[in-house]
Amino acid sequence: MKLSSAGAEMISGVLSELSEDSSFNDMTTPNLLQHLVERNIPVNVLYIDGHWLDIDSLGDLERGYIFGS
């Protein structure tokens, strides 16, 4: 996810707010994006062709590191 400095600040505030939810540790990037859309916060998508790995959790990142090495 690429963010402007204003976007990063906004996401930081949203994450802080969401962190008070009991299901926060189970949330994924799509959950965050859906939350932004529900609050009418613009989300732009850039489609990428080719090889990529969908990373939504620390477990995904660990698996990606293993498969990518």
* Domain range list for the chain: 5-68
Given pLDDT bands bounded at 50, 70 and 90, which one contains residue 69?
low
- What average pLDDT does range 25-50 have in this prediction? 88
Given pLDDT bands bounded at 50, 70 and 90, which one contains residue 11?
very high
CA quadruple 20, 21, 22, 23: dihedral sign: negative
* Whether pLDDT at 26 is above 70: yes
* Whether pLDDT at 62 is above 70: yes
Of the candidates 46, 41, 53, which has an alpha carbon nearest to the alpha carbon of residue 32?
A: 41
**3-state class of 13 per DSSP?**
helix
- What average pLDDT does range 42-65 have in this prediction? 78
